[in-house]
Structure 1
Amino acid sequence: MIHPHIADALKSPDLVRLTDGLVLVRFESMKIYSALAAVRHLLDRGTVRAGQTLVDSSSGIYAYALALACHRHGMRCHIVASTTVDASTRAQLEILGATVEQVGPSQDLRLDQELRVRRVREILRRRPDCHWMRQYHDDVHYLGYGEVADRIAELCPARPLTVVGGVGSGASTGGIVERLRVADPAVRLVGVQPFGSVTFGSEAHRDPEAIIAGIGSSIVFDNVRHRLYDAVHWMDFAHAMSGAVALLREHAVFAGLSTGAGYLAAAHEARRHPGRLHLVIGADTGHRYVERVFARHAEALDPGALKPVEVPGPEEMTMPWSTMSWQRAPRPARGREHAA
């Protein structure tokens, strides 16, 4: 197939068998599916017009995906970037035609996200012609992942499935699993979160090391459909780093920090449920984590020696790694009001 645009070529994942019970769904940049489908839908519906400026905040891969979608569909793009967006990503965004402004350095998940949201609102007040994509709150971002689910169903038809991935806005893991459950309601979904995220109730904990970009939030994300999740894992930076290094060392897969966290969580789930096939969502490559993660590979922990504490509820969780059975429960009652 000859693709009409590089975004169409980059969006499709490769499925890589890691073990008999573990398969990696490896994306070059996962949110290209989401951004392409969302922008096309908004154009078709007349919500936005060609040449209009689309604006959003991002910790990295959504920014790249939105810039590609805008390039593909003739739109302008403005990104309010997290402190975690590296120089390589920023340069690509700018060359693709996006305007980029980055919030100041922060090791605090809440401050980083609140600064970005505040800046987006300032832009919208000054430029009402812009359209806020609201990747964290508009369910239009679920649309693209049905195609991913269809590919998974085609390639993995014979075994009970469990999908494991970073929660983030909820659209990727949620969108994939909602589609898969149309044919098989027994498909399990395991979400991965950093400590400090309000989404599943870990906001009282702080990881002193670093932000795990993109998989947690200090503000409520309306797109997260808690009732879809069967289990949740909370993991600190050191464990996620160890998972990413182990994935490269053991399977030659160079992937991002959220994939490392998902790999550890999926390996644990596979030991507990050996009859199921566990699909790890690999959202992006490891390039933006070279200095913060892979250059520190000598510090990585032995993954074989790591296991979570199983807790009955978020109140009992403990660092550095906890897990609980969520049982498709609704959103927890506690947590801050969302700021977006």
Structure 2
Amino acid sequence: MNPRAEASPPTTDARSIAQAVHEHITDAVKAPDLIRLDGNVVLARFETMKVYAALGAVRSLLGRGRIVPGQTLIDGSSGIYALALAMACHRYGLRCHIVASTTVDSVMRAQLEILGATVDQMPPSQSLLLDQERRVRHVRRLLAGRPDFHWMRQYHDAVHYEGYRECAELLSGALPEGPVTVVGAVGTGASTGGLAQALRAAGRTVRLVGVQPFGSVTFGSEQFNDPEAIIAGIGSSIPFRNVRHELYDTVHWLDFRHAMAGAVGLLRQHAVFAGLSAGGAHLVASWEAARHPGHLHLVLGADTGHRYAERVFSRHAEARDMAALRPLPIGSLAELRPPWSVMEWAKRAAPPGARCSDEGAAASASAVELTS
């Protein structure tokens, strides 16, 4: 018998069912499931967290008249933001054009096309940087010929922060009052940064812990190379304006094997099938919560584990025991070392390589995280 099972299922009346009926799929998939992993650790498990970014941005742009119904929205992506944007366009009567990474699989492409998006996919490449550069060049070529297209620029346009105010209200209402430590992948900066900023603005004390892969320029680990780094949504090979470094209190850098241990551990211990970035956040939060037992820790599980089925979960026998893993505490980026390091960032400014000039933002606006 499952010790977590209830003696009898909860009853549901007609009113609660009616309240759960949504007008569009985006309302259903954006809401997270809140799952207690431990006494002071709660997981917010999303089907796709980027729906908040896409919906918030599209609503704001429509409200301000920067876009109009029927217009085409364009951006580069490897799938997760692309799907969120395509669903937002479907909801609000907009057209969608995606310049897709070579890593976009046939399942994701079929979803995008059925939703009405047109997809230009980059050819196979051994270099993620080359894949990014091809997408940037292609987007700019399209914009030159179609000035009526609106470039969403999810990595640089702060409009993507706006949707996370709604997410913060939902989470704040569901969690007990008091301080909270938010643990999640940095990625574009809009999810962790937007959520923490909204919670702080509402008066809650928030400690923000960001998770990064080795090889990401965002928090100064670009000198390292992790050959297995497929950690989508955590880091970037180019600067992103939407990453606001001064929002982060602590940063953890993980290699692929450690993120894999967290993802497999999350499924094995809690029956939660979530993505690799969620696995990294789970590992980090477990270590952080043990050091701060009196503090509530909120783990962001930004997507499901389906796109990692072959490269991560089918290799579950290789996964290391989370309990045996420990980070290297460092005091400066000069001390940074794989496979897992942690540093009190203390809301300091961006490292030199992550500073985004206006020219750099324009040149890289459609590029994506390492493989996300």
TM-score w.r.t. the length of structure 1 is 0.96
Distance 1:334 1:185 in 2: 32
Larger Rg belongs to: 2
SS in structure 2 at match of 1:211? coil
Aligned residue runs from structure 1 range 65-214, under 5 A: 65-106=84-125, 108-184=127-203, 186-214=205-233
Deviation (angstroms), 1:127: 1.8
Distance 1:273 1:104 in 2: 47
Q: Deviations over 1:32-91 (max 9, x none)?
A: 111111111111111111111101111221111000000001111111122332222121
Structure 2 residue 273 is matched with structure 1 residue 254 = yes
User: Do the aligned partners of 2:85 and 2:96 also contact (CA within 8 Å) in 1?
Assistant: yes
Deviation (angstroms), 1:335: 4.4
Deviation (angstroms), 1:119: 2.0
Deviation (angstroms), 1:152: 1.5
User: Do the aligned partners of 2:178 and 2:204 also contact (CA within 8 Å) in 1?
Assistant: no
Residue-pair matches, total: 340
Distance 2:259 2:314 in 1: 14
User: Do the aligned partners of 1:21 and 1:278 also contact (CA within 8 Å) in 2?
Assistant: yes
Residue 36 (structure 1) aligns with: 55
TM-score w.r.t. the length of structure 2 is 0.88
Gap change, CA 1:153 and 1:336, over 3 Å in 2: closer
Q: Which one of 340, 353, 359 corresponds to residue 321 of structure 1?
A: 340
Distance 1:61 1:194 in 2: 18
Q: Tell me which amino acid in the other structure corresponds to 1:261.
A: G
Q: Deviations over 1:13-41 (max 9, x none)?
A: 11110101111011111011111111111
Q: Tell me which amino acid in the other structure corresponds to 1:334.
A: G
Distance 1:301 1:11 in 2: 32
Distance 1:32 1:194 in 2: 23
Deviation (angstroms), 1:106: 4.3
Structure 2 residue 17 is matched with structure 1 residue 11 = no
Runs of 4+ in 1 over 4 A off after TM superposition: 106-109
Distance 2:205 2:56 in 1: 27
Distance 1:129 1:138 in 2: 18
Distance 2:119 2:209 in 1: 33
Residue 16 (structure 2) aligns with: none
Residue 287 (structure 1) aligns with: 306
Identity level (%) = 65
Distance 2:281 2:131 in 1: 23
> Which structure 1 segments of 5+ residues have no match?
none
User: Do the aligned partners of 1:212 and 1:237 also contact (CA within 8 Å) in 2?
Assistant: yes
Q: Deviations over 1:165-194 (max 9, x none)?
A: 011110111111111112446310001111
Deviation (angstroms), 1:107: 5.6
Residue 304 (structure 1) aligns with: 323
Residue 15 (structure 2) aligns with: none
How large is the Cα RMSD of the aligned pairs?
1.5
Deviation (angstroms), 1:277: 0.8
Distance 2:227 2:289 in 1: 29
Q: Deviations over 1:120-164 (max 9, x none)?
A: 112212222111000000000001111111111111133420000
Q: Tell me which amino acid in the other structure corresponds to 1:42.
A: L
Gap change, CA 1:36 and 1:335, over 3 Å in 2: closer
Distance 2:37 2:191 in 1: 21
Q: Tell me which amino acid in the other structure corresponds to 2:141.
A: E
Distance 1:82 1:312 in 2: 36
SS in structure 2 at match of 1:192? strand
Q: Tell me which amino acid in the other structure corresponds to 2:78.
A: S
Q: Tell me which amino acid in the other structure corresponds to 2:207.
A: R
User: Do the aligned partners of 1:270 and 1:278 also contact (CA within 8 Å) in 2?
Assistant: yes
Distance 2:103 2:320 in 1: 23
> Which structure 2 segments of 5+ residues have no match?
1-18, 365-372
Distance 2:268 2:204 in 1: 35
SS in structure 1 at match of 2:169? helix
